[in-house]
Amino acid sequence: MTHGASLVRWSAPYAGWFAVLLAVEFAIALYVRDRFVRPFIGDALVVVLIYCAVRAVVDLRPRVAVAGVFMFACSVEVAQWLRFAERLPLEHLPALRVALGTHFDPLDFVAYGTGAIAVLSAERLASRRLSRVKMPA
């Protein structure tokens, strides 16, 4: 991002990854019934999913974007601990109730951290690969 430039932009690669990850998350939600992939991998991937959604439309440095997404995910988990969804009249909005979640699990913080680390690792790897590509003269 350059000084004075708009934060809003469109990134097709991040939008594409968002679409792929959204399909994976739906598949996990609909077809996986276990104690590891659905609760842990799904929660780690949701951080990556939201990160890709943010980076698809907002021009932020990776560390800033992933920090914001991680804090958002953690705040949703804290809201679950406080039973926020139960205190709101969400019976007519089941999608919001699903998004907020109703079950607090402290291990979700580990999953969110794992997702954040995966994002930063992938960004670092992509950055190194791009820096190795030589521009034609």
Cβ(70)–Cβ(117) below 8 Å: no
pLDDT at position 87 = 81
Residue 4 has pLDDT above 60, yes or no: no
- How far out from the chain centre does Cα 50 lie? 3
Nearest to 39 by CA among 116, 121, 114, 95: 114
What whole-number distance in Å separates Cα of residue 80 and Cα of residue 1? Answer: 35
Residue 22 has pLDDT above 80, yes or no: yes
Residue 86 has pLDDT above 70, yes or no: yes
Task: Residue count of the chain, please give it.
Answer: 137
Cβ(22)–Cβ(49) below 8 Å: yes
Residue 101 has pLDDT above 90, yes or no: no
pLDDT at position 95 = 78
Of 36-40, 50-54, 110-114, 125-129, least confident by mean pLDDT is 125-129
What whole-number distance in Å separates Cα of residue 22 and Cα of residue 118? Answer: 17
Residue 98 has pLDDT above 80, yes or no: no
Residue 137 has pLDDT above 60, yes or no: no
pTM: 0.86
pLDDT at position 89 = 79
